């Protein structure tokens, strides 16, 4: 039966790949990959021999209709990104929307995504949280932070390592000085680390380092009441 599968892939530790994900990638007609080189290494590790096609932020707008037509015509496809769950700060939404519009069956597999382990190991309230993902790089960044300051939930951000200190400096200018946050990096990998404390304390920790590596998840305790 024609179908679109959304298949999460490990964010660092290959042991997080599920049996179901491997089985699904082996049985589909084609795998849509954010980067075929990255996915190719994953497929080789799990002895998956299947065709790939590039599907990423630079071509998704012009390819979604054609892909949906192919699925409607009988093809079975799996969508993966470089790491994590498709659609979470990665390509996926546009294709899913197009498939929904065309009454195409979609099956979303459970699996890795970086913000969940970062949230639950932060020690901050988890019953209400807001996932922001990446902030705007330039225009609108300060405005967005001012809006988020008034949302009294646990706030979750993605950030790149080279922008981490600058982002923490911006947080220090927006949030109260007693605000607690945690920064998780290299999640699921050998050098996994979570640094917790006030914004100033965490900022000084990372300022003292000559370099910062790994994808970053920042979790902010924005004062929700228990």
Q: How far apart are CA 215 and CA 31, in angstroms?
A: 25
Count of domains observed in the chain: 2
Residue at a domain's end among 108, 127, 149: 108
Owning domain of residue 55: 3-108
Are 179 and 83 contained in the same domain?
A: no
Q: Is residue 212 assigned to a domain?
A: yes
Q: Is the pLDDT of residue 1 over 90?
A: no
pTM: 0.93
- For residue 13 the two structure tokens come to 């530790």
Are 104 and 122 contained in the same domain?
A: no
Are 88 and 176 contained in the same domain?
A: no
Quick: pLDDT tens for 178-198: 999 999 999 999 999 999 999
Q: Is residue 200 assigned to a domain?
A: yes
Quick: pLDDT tens for 2-16: 999 999 999 999 999
Cα four-point dihedral sign 21, 23, 29, 31 = positive
CATH number, domain containing residue 176? 3.30.950.10
Q: Is residue 226 assigned to a domain?
A: no
Q: How far apart are CA 81 and CA 91, in angstroms?
A: 7
Are 119 and 222 spatial neighbours (Cβ–Cβ below 8 Å)?
A: no
Going by DSSP bridges, is the β-strand pair 30-33/76-80 parallel, antiparallel, or unpaired?
parallel
Mean pLDDT in residue range 149-178: 96
Residue at a domain's end among 69, 87, 108: 108
Are 103 and 158 contained in the same domain?
A: no
Q: What is the mean pLDDT of the chain?
A: 96
Q: Supply the pLDDT for residue 225.
A: 58
Quick: pLDDT tens for 129-141: 999 999 998 889 9
Q: Supply the pLDDT for residue 137.
A: 85
Q: How far apart are CA 24 and CA 98, in angstroms?
A: 21
Q: Supply the pLDDT for residue 134.
A: 96
Mean pLDDT in residue range 56-65: 96
Residue at a domain's end among 88, 108, 128: 108
Q: How far apart are CA 130 and CA 156, in angstroms?
A: 6
Are 119 and 202 contained in the same domain?
A: yes
Are 10 and 88 contained in the same domain?
A: yes
**Bridge partners for 111 per DSSP:** none
- For residue 207 the two structure tokens come to 């300022």
For tokens 């599920």, name the residue. 18
Are 9 and 102 contained in the same domain?
A: yes
């Amino acid at each position: 039966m024609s179908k679109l599968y959304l298949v999460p892939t490990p964010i660092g530790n290959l042991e997080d790949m599920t049996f179901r994900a491997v089985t699904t990638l082996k049985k589909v007609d084609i795998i849509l990959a954010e980067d075929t080189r990255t996915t190719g290494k994953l497929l080789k590790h799990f002895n998956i021999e299947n065709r790939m096609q590039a599907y990423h932020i630079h071509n998704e707008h012009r390819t979604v209709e054609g892909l949906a037509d192919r699925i409607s015509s009988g093809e079975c496809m799996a969508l993966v990104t470089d790491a994590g769950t498709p659609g979470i700060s990665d390509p996926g939404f546009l294709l899913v929307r197009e498939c929904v519009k065309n009454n195409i069956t979609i099956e979303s597999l459970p699996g890795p995504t970086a913000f969940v382990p970062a949230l639950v190991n932060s020690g901050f309230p988890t019953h209400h949280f807001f996932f922001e993902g990446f902030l705007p790089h330039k225009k609108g960044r300060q405005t967005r932070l001012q809006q988020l300051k008034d949302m009294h939930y646990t706030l979750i951000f993605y950030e790149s390592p080279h922008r981490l200190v600058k982002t923490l400096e911006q947080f220090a200018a927006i949030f109260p000085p007693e605000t607690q946050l945690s920064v998780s990096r290299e999640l699921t990998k050998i050098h996994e680390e979570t640094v917790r404390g006030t914004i100033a304390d965490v900022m000084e920790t990372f300022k003292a380092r000559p370099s910062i590596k790994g994808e970053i998840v920042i979790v902010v305790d924005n004062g929700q009441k228990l």
